Amino acid sequence: MEVPDPVAENPIDPDLKLVTYRVAIREGGQDEFDFLLDHLPDFTVAQDVQKVLYGLAESTDVANLNVLLDLTIESDSPIRSQDAIYVYRGVGDTNVGRRAQFDWLQARYDDIKAFYGTWFPEQVQEIVQGFLETGNTQEDIDEMQAFLDEHVADLGAAVTTIEQGIDRMGVNLNWMEENFEAVLGWLEDETGVVASTTTTTTTTTTTTLISNSTSNTTVPPPGGGGGDDGAESTSARLLWTVLSVVVALLLL
């Protein structure tokens, strides 16, 4: 059976391409990732390229994310330099990607700096944004502060972004310390589920709600998605998440 051209004869509705690519990569395996990456050069429409890159960024395999990130600083790459920003934003918007991308920046710092030259500070802002928005532990704050202290001479305009981000991480930490347990207690009282909390390698606190049945739901931490940097915004994001989980549990 002849396989149709995945680009010219793409059967996916244009309005559904982004979500389809994202779900396929997040829920799929190595074959799906390799297939989409191999066909990246075949996409010539800017919007389609963006959707493919955002889709690839959904991989939960750190090795695949490193492959994708490495391609952004290679001269002979299917990812154009002007499109690298979509990789950084996409990877930085996922739980696994935030940490992986910051680790990549530190591991390949000299290579990234050499590749971007005078544009380096602007790219650093994009690379660390996801980590800055969601970091909520003292370890996260200390690590980012150490990064800033070590490289402050190179970072130019990114210094202000990182300093503001560290302040936001402090807000996240304070919120967690002052309110998180209370919210979990309220959730347990209202829903009758038992909550167990663990700190994941993505530098955020993950709460798994285990009901009396076999179902479970994961509540992501506050801070994701950008927006207002204040404590009220952070609280609102987590409360919105908690309320969403309550509704989901009641519908089970």
* Tens-digit pLDDT profile for residues 12-35: 888 899 999 999 999 999 999 999
Residue 181 lies in a domain: yes
Q: Indicate if 21 and 140 belong to the same structural domain.
A: yes
CATH code where residue 148 lies: 1.25.50.20
Residue 243 has pLDDT above 70, yes or no: no
Answer with the one of 137, 170, 203 that is the final residue of a domain.
Answer: 170
| Domain identity same for 135 and 178 | no
In a domain, residue 94? The reply is yes
Domain that holds residue 94: 14-170
User: Which of 146, 170, 194 delimits the end of a domain?
Assistant: 170
Q: Kindly state the percentage of the chain with pLDDT values over 90.
A: 64
- Give me the number of domains the chain comprises: 2
Residue finishing a domain among 170, 197, 231: 170
pLDDT in tens, 94-114: 999 999 999 999 999 999 999
CB-CB contact of 40 with 49 (8 Å): yes
Task: Give the pLDDT confidence of 117-146 residue by residue, as tens digits.
Answer: 999 999 999 999 999 999 999 999 999 999
pLDDT at 153 exceeding the cut of 60: yes
In a domain, 7, yes or no: no
Q: Residue 221's beta-bridge partner residues?
A: none
Please check whether residues 132 and 195 belong to one and the same domain: no
Residues 117 and 29 reside in one and the same domain = yes
Are 43 and 52 in contact by the 8 Å Cβ rule? The answer is yes
Please tell me the distance from the alpha carbon of residue 250 to that of residue 242, in angstroms, as a whole number.
12
What confidence tens digit (pLDDT) does each residue in 172-227 have?
A: 999 999 998 898 888 888 887 766 555 444 344 444 444 443 333 333 443 444 43
Q: Tell me whether residue 47 is in a domain.
A: yes
Looking at the fold, whether 143 and 38 belong to one and the same domain comes out as: yes
CA 13 to chain centre: 26
What residue has token string 């167990």? 196
Is 135 within 8 Å of 203 (Cβ atoms)? yes
User: What are the b/e assignments for 93-123, b being 16+ CB within 10 Å?
Assistant: bbbbbbbbbbbbbeebbeebbebbeeebbeb
